[in-house]
Amino acid sequence: MLFHFVQGQDDNNNSQDTFMAGKVQINIDGKILECPIIVGTEGDKAFDIAKLRAQTGFITMDPGFGNTGSCKSAITYLDGEKGFLRYRGIPIEQLAEKSTFIETSYLLIYGKLPNQKELDAFSEAFNEHSTIHEDMKNLFDAYPSSAHPMASLSAMVCSMSAYYPELIKENPTKEEIDRIAVQLLSKVRTICAFSHKKSIGEAFVYPRHDLRYVPNFLNMMFSSPTKPYKIVDEVVRAMQVLLILHADHEQNCSTSTVRLVGSSHANLYASISAGICALWGPLHGGANQAVIEMLEDIQKDGGDVKKYIAKAKDENGRYRLMGFGHRVYKNFDPRAKIIKQCADELLNKLGIHDPLLDLAKRMEEAALKDEYFITRKLYPNVDFYSGIIYRTIGIPLNMFPVMFAIGRMPGWIAHWKEMIEDPTTKIGRPFQIYIGAPKTDYVPIEKRT
């Protein structure tokens, strides 16, 4: 098999967001397949193998999809070598400093920053949809108080399709998608706060129209009929920053799950519920919980970070330093950099000293000097320092992945919307290379050994 690159502009290019720069010729036993080269607005290159199987009988093999583009997307761009991340073209550093989670959600879903009127209408819709159906509260009783909140969150989000069936259509209108989007963004924080209250045996605290998104969530989480919650600006800002930084990350495991499930025309609630399950895993969003558990274990064991770095090296991947490494970032994760600074600032302002933050910094320092981590380009990722902030705010450990899910909601919605509105979308259905038994006849039970 030969690959041959043919330079040149393709005249058939009509797309405004990509252009074609020549083609790759694949020569399989003298049969030539021409694959157009697609180039994105930032210069990313791919060759299109859509006709490969039909014309040659071959498929490509790419476990973990490390070389596979599943779609064209205009939502988020990241460069893993240079270590930057942009939502709709805007660097996350600027959004973290100047924007709010609601504004960033609008940006991701609708493709532009809202004007004042659009922002006001969007925020108002959050108030309108902040409560959950009263009957849904019964669902919380069905879970043991020890249940992991990601289990109830995914179930509740999927259950919303049962409580709001009028919005479940195979071809929803733009207005119906807008309504589900705002419902999900607003109600998810109520569901999460209620699940926390249930787990500690306290009464649910309802959302308030006079509070904005983050203070409203914190109030539902931490106030009680006997004890009001004092809203601290620094805490609100730190949480805004975390939510903004988690809002999207292009075709990661959970977002790809949302798109794959949605490609069968499953409704938005069901698709996002599947994304929540994908996020839960410790190699993805569950890592923020796993990082703190790991740091606590190391602390209990005397705080010797080098011992754990050696363990990660000796066991070559079977023991991993949680919060380290990333499929795309081979330089620093820009989110981790902002979160580390945010953790420092928050703890300083509140006058809190968390020994786990010191331990995390020592771990980072030691790992970044170690040959194993250097050669594999393993840097702290978004989950390494975020848990320190959640701890400081008072969020319980098993709710850390839930906080990630609240943050990722606008990204999931934006991708589902982009996918469903794209007329070229097809149902996601990869192939395989079968390695099982050849044709085998059925053996009656009395003749089996």
Note the residues at the interface with ligand ACO (CB under 6 A): 64, 252, 283-285, 287, 312, 316-317, 320-327, 376, 378, 381-383
Which one from 249, 326, 333, 415 is the annotated catalytic residue? Answer: 326
Query: Closer to ligand ACO at the Cβ: 76 or 186?
Result: 76
Which one from 196, 248, 383, 415 is the annotated catalytic residue? Answer: 383
HSE-up (13 A, CA, CB side) for residue 15 = 16
Taking the complex as a whole, the smallest distance from the CB of residue 381 to ligand ACO amounts, in Å, to 4
Provide, for the chain, the percentages of residues in helix, strand and coil under a 3-state DSSP scheme, each rounded to the nearest 5: 55, 10, 35
Query: Closer to ligand ACO at the Cβ: 138 or 316?
Result: 316
Other C-beta atoms lying within 10 Å of the C-beta of residue 213:
24
Distance in angstroms (rounded) separating the CA atoms of residues 269 and 261: 11
Taking the complex as a whole, the smallest distance from the CB of residue 150 to ligand ACO amounts, in Å, to 14
Taking the complex as a whole, the smallest distance from the CB of residue 369 to ligand ACO amounts, in Å, to 15
In this structure, what is the dihedral angle of CA atoms 292, 96, 235, 230, given to the nearest 10 degrees? -140
Query: Closer to ligand ACO at the Cβ: 182 or 322?
Result: 322
Residue type, 113: L
Distance in angstroms (rounded) separating the CA atoms of residues 34 and 37: 9
For 36-60, letters b (16+ CB in 10 Å) and e give bbbebeeeeebbebeebeeebeeee
Q: In what order do the strands lie in the sheet with 2-9?
A: 2-9, 19-28, 31-39, 45-47
Query: Closer to ligand ACO at the Cβ: 153 or 321?
Result: 321
| Closest C-alpha to 257, from 281, 236, 223, 231 | 281
Taking the complex as a whole, the smallest distance from the CB of residue 403 to ligand ACO amounts, in Å, to 12
Annotated catalytic, 326?
yes
Annotated catalytic, 62?
no
For 88-97, letters b (16+ CB in 10 Å) and e give beeebbebbe
- Spatial CB neighbours of 431, under 8 Å, sequence gap ≥ 6: 53, 59
Query: Closer to ligand ACO at the Cβ: 84 or 206?
Result: 84
**β-bridge partners, 21:** 9
Taking the complex as a whole, the smallest distance from the CB of residue 285 to ligand ACO amounts, in Å, to 5
On whether the CB atoms of residues 247 and 411 are closer than 8 A, the answer is yes
Query: Closer to ligand ACO at the Cβ: 144 or 317?
Result: 317
Taking the complex as a whole, the smallest distance from the CB of residue 282 to ligand ACO amounts, in Å, to 6
Active site residues: 326, 383
